[in-house]
Amino acid sequence: MAQVKITLTKSVAGRPQDQRATVIALGLHKTNSQVIKEATPQINGMLHKVRHLVTVEEI
């Protein structure tokens, strides 16, 4: 599977609790933090939910 680099570009302050939980489940904590994940259907669904808060790059 392809890997993706996920960067938290916007703060989760003032966002609904489910979006905050999704960002934490992806492994992101502070703005501009980055993680590398496999592009599975589960991760893609999580990214779709918080697409306005993150930047995604394929590796």
The 10s digit of each residue's pLDDT in 28-53 is 999 999 999 999 999 999 999 999 99
Predicted TM-score of the model (pTM): 0.91
* Domain total of the chain: 1
**Selection from 11, 38, 16 nearest residue 26 by Cα:** 38
Residue 10, domain CATH: 3.30.1390.20
User: What average pLDDT score do residues 2-29 get?
Assistant: 97
What's the domain range around 16?
3-58
Band of residue 25 on the pLDDT scale cut at 50, 70, 90: very high
pLDDT(1) > 90: no
